[in-house]
């Protein structure tokens, strides 16, 4: 099996039933979106398939984004489902160039869950929201019967305002642009895997789960950024594929430039996971003009969530798609995640 491909490649098959892979962020989910959601909800805003929706409300440029969180276990090194639910949605808004401002929180909780646990999660949500600069303005709670998991699902939906004049979007990207990343990959998925207790050892691992709105607002305060995406479910390789599809260009990733911690490498090796497809919750891919590359990287280094920022590749006219330039110099195609790696990762 190729080291850089996910484990379950199933080809372009249209499933008859929902499988775990439909929630993985990869190809199955993209097919579901294209064949069902766009068919019935289709409109120009949704069709852009971005992390959030650009909506104009009487002249104001707003961004709206929604995500549900079903991660197991609810608590893991570096975070919990509450912190994750704020970061994930806030980051989706931030990568659209908007400052997140308002957040709704919808709980689905199983009967029998301790109220102390709900309070712990609310404390985490409140703290993270404060750090991210968003206010929780609307909420909802539904209760379902006891079941087989820890029984807390959270939906957060956020609204932000576009404050920058920098034009962001796939149409801004050109061959020669640099691909920057604010740090190491795979930490979130590795931390959740370890928290499931599959190993006897305790790895030195923590999820990278963090609200990136502050960092990103600094990056877009001046020119240079062309487009951003956060590589969550499906990992760096899948999100780069989304960028390649949206821009119609090619992306070359340099294997030796991608920061991966030894602990993540170890967990990945043991579980047969590929770090390039592992989920992140505090990472942003920044496509930038070559002139702005140095300034933006320096700017990121100043921020607590960008200490290890670096260039990991570049945009090319040909070949189309996403390619990994390996340490020995060969080019290997990186496709979108098929199936899944770990289920219920966010």
* Interacting residues with a second copy between 125 and 144 (CB under 8 A): 125-126, 129, 135-144
- Nearer to a second copy by C-beta: 140 or 269? 140
- Nearer to a second copy by C-beta: 45 or 335? 45
- Judged by CB under 8 A, how many residues of this single chain contact a second copy? 80
Q: Does 20 bind a second copy (CB under 8 A)?
A: yes
Where in 82-101 is the site for a second copy (CB under 8 A)? Answer: 101
* Shortest distance, position 315 Cβ to a second copy, whole Å: 27
Specify the stretch interacting with a second copy by CB under 8 A; choose among 9-17, 213-221, 304-312, 316-324: 9-17
First to last CA, the chain: 26
* Shortest distance, position 104 Cβ to a second copy, whole Å: 4
- Compute φ and ψ for 56, nearest 5 degrees: -95, 120
Distance in angstroms (rounded) separating the CA atoms of residues 335 and 321: 8
One residue of 176, 248, 272, 343 binding a second copy per CB under 8 A: 343
- Compute φ and ψ for 178, nearest 5 degrees: -95, 145
Q: Which two tokens stand for residue 79?
A: 């975070």
- Nearer to a second copy by C-beta: 125 or 228? 125
- The strands making up 53-57's β-sheet, listed across from edge to edge, are 53-57, 60-69, 152-162, 98-110, 135-144
* Shortest distance, position 338 Cβ to a second copy, whole Å: 15
- Nearer to a second copy by C-beta: 211 or 224? 211
- Nearer to a second copy by C-beta: 113 or 310? 113
Q: Does 107 bind a second copy (CB under 8 A)?
A: yes
Distance in angstroms (rounded) separating the CA atoms of residues 199 and 71: 18
Contacts with 319 (C-beta within 8 Å, 6 or more apart), sequence order: 250, 331
State the number of CA atoms in the 13 A half-sphere of 322 facing the CB.
25
Where in 141-160 is the site for a second copy (CB under 8 A)? Answer: 141-145, 147-149, 153, 155, 157, 159
Distances (CA, A) of 70 to 75, 149, 151, 155: 12, 10, 9, 9
The two beta strands, 98-110 and 135-144, are parallel
* Shortest distance, position 132 Cβ to a second copy, whole Å: 13
């Amino acid at each position: 099996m190729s080291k850089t491909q996910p484990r379950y490649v199933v080809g372009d098959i249209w499933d008859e039933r929902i499988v775990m892979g439909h929630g993985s962020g990869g190809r199955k989910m993209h097919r579901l979106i294209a064949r069902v959601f766009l068919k019935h909800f289709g409109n120009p805003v949704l069709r852009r398939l971005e992390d959030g929706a650009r909506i104009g409300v009487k002249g104001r440029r707003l961004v709206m984004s929604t995500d549900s969180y079903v991660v197991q276990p609810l608590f893991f090194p570096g975070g919990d489902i509450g912190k994750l639910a704020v970061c994930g949605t806030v980051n989706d808004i931030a990568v659209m160039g908007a400052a997140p401002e308002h957040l709704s929180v919808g709980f689905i909780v199983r009967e029998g869950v301790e109220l102390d646990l709900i309070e712990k999660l609310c404390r985490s949500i409140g703290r993270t929201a404060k750090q991210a600069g968003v206010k929780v303005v609307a909420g909802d709670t539904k209760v379902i019967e006891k079941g087989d998991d820890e029984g807390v699902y959270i939906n957060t939906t956020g609204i932000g305002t576009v404050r920058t004049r920098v034009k962001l979007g796939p149409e801004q990207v050109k061959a020669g642009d640099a691909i920057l990343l604010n740090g190491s990959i795979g930490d979130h998925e590795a931390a959740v895997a370890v928290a499931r207790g599959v190993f006897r050892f305790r790895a030195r691992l923590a999820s990278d789960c963090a609200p990136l709105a502050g960092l990103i607002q600094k990056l877009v305060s001046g020119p240079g950024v062309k487009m951003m995406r956060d590589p969550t479910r499906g990992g760096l390789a899948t999100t780069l594929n989304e960028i390649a599809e949206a821009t119609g260009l090619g992306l070359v990733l340099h294997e030796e430039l991608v920061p991966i911690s030894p602990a993540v490498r170890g967990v990945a090796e043991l579980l047969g996971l590929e770090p390039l497809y592992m989920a992140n919750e505090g990472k942003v891919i920044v496509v930038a003009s070559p002139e702005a590359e140095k300034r933006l990287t320096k700017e990121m280094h100043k921020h607590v969530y960008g200490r290890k920022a670096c260039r990991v590749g570049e945009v090319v006219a040909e070949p189309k798609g996403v390619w990994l330039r390996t340490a020995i110099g060969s080019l290997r195609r990186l496709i979108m995640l098929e199936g899944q790696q770990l289920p219920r990762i966010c």
